[in-house]
Structures are given as structure tokens and as C-alpha cells.
Amino acid sequence: MSFEELKQKLSERLLQELPGATAHEPMRAVPVGMTIPNFEHKLPPKPGSVLILLYEQDGIVKFPLIKRPEYLGAHSGQISLPGGKAEAGENSIQTALREGEEEIGVDGSKVEVLGRLTDFFVIPSNFLVTPVVGVIEAPSFTPDTREVARILSCNLFDLLLEEAILKKEIIAAGQYKMMAPYFDIEGEIVWGATAMMLNELRLVVRGLE
């Protein structure tokens, strides 16, 4: 399938019913042992967006992920999609494009938005995240060094392989043992919310004819 065919078919598919929880649940990490994280929130979830930005390089369809710097927070050092909290008056697409500009330096005006995946509730940080899928021609990435320690270049079709989903025990938030399904991308463990959203993209693309 050519990149142009992928764009057309994916934009049409994203208008239809999406896998949602069917894609999310197989990638959900589960606690190991008696120590279980307790994420109780008294406030409603904050709206946010992430950007799944597809591009073609040397005949390979790729998308960027970012590695967060080490800090005192729920997502320290984790691999994620570019994205963040919505600002006042923004819709999900505007948030995703702004965050893409801020975090990885892409020009939002050059992004062709194909559609959105299912909204996803990120429990630890109390965010309701909309994954926005877009495409761009010949991007040049410039990381925001305050928010991005590294940009990963991910091969979309590697993600589609049956053997792409792995599983191992990890330590979450420095203290909780979790058995986590994950993707190994450029030697990094991609698990949790990011893996769950990417698995929905994976199932959607695998279903294209």
C-alpha cells in the first residue's frame, strides 16, 4: 500500500466505529503482588490531546515518539506521543498541533489531519486524551529540551507484526510492580497509555484493505 493510499483509507476508516476498549485492554498493565497503585481523583479529568504524526521516509511510514526527561512526576522518563493539556478555547486538534509545534518543532500548518482515535482516560494524571492522527511531508524535528529528552522514529509497519507485543514486569512510579504488555521501539519500553493508544492505531491500520 502506498503512502497516499494509506492516507486515504485511514481518513475514511477514522470516520467509522473504532475498536476503543477492544484495542486498549490487551495492553493494560496489571499490578503484581499486594501493592496496588491508588489513583483517586476528586476533580473531573483534564482535556488533552496527543499527536500521531505519520510521515514517509525512504519508503517507510514512520511516526515520532518522545522520551520525557527525568522529573518528579507520574510520567518521568516515559515514552509518549507528543501532546499535553488543552488550553482555554482549544479543540482537540488545535491542542495536538500546538503541542507538536512546542515539543518536537513541527509546523502545525503543514500537518494534514486525518481524524481521531478513541478518547482515552489516563488514570495516573487524570487526563482525558484525544489521539489526533495526521500526516506531514518531510518533517524536521527539533525537540524542546525542557520537555523532550529524545525523539524516537518509529516504523508503523513494525508495529503491525504479531510479535510486536511483548510483556515483562516493570516498576511503575519507582515503587509499583506491574506486568506490562509493551512495544520495544528503538530499545525503549513503550507501555501504559501510549501503548494502549498505539494498539488502537495498530488494529485500525491492520484492518485496512
| C-alpha cell, 23 | 484495542
Each residue's pLDDT tens digit, 10-32: 999 999 999 999 999 999 988 88
pLDDT given at position 176? 75
Report pLDDT for 154: 95
Rg (CA), the chain: 16
The larger pLDDT score, comparing residue 148 to residue 71, is at 148
Rounded to an integer, the average pLDDT of 53-82 is 86
Distance CA 154, CA 159 (A): 8
Q: What DSSP string describes the chain?
A: --HHHHHHHHHHHTTS---THHHHGGG--EE-SS-------SSPPEEEEEEEEEEEETTEEEEEEEEPPP-SSTTTT-EE-SEEEPPTT--HHHHHHHHHHHHH---GGG-EEEEE---EEETTTTEEEEEEEEE-SS------TTT-SEEEEEEHHHHTSGGGEEEEEEEETTTEEEEEEEEEETTEEE-HHHHHHHHHHHHHHHT--
Q: pLDDT tens across 122-136, in order?
A: 876 777 999 999 999
- For residue 174, the model assigns a pLDDT of 67
- The angle, 0 to 180 degrees and rounded to 10, between the axes of the packed helices 192-206 and 3-13 is 100
Report whether pLDDT(172) > 90. no
Residue ranges of the domains in the chain?
A: 3-206
Which among 95, 63, 67 is positioned nearest to 205, based on CA atoms?
Answer: 63
Q: With a cut of 80, say whether residue 166 has pLDDT above it.
A: yes
Angle at 27 between CA 127 and CA 40, to 5 degrees: 35
CATH of 3-206, one of 3.20.10.10, 3.30.2010.10, 3.40.1690.10, 3.90.79.10: 3.90.79.10
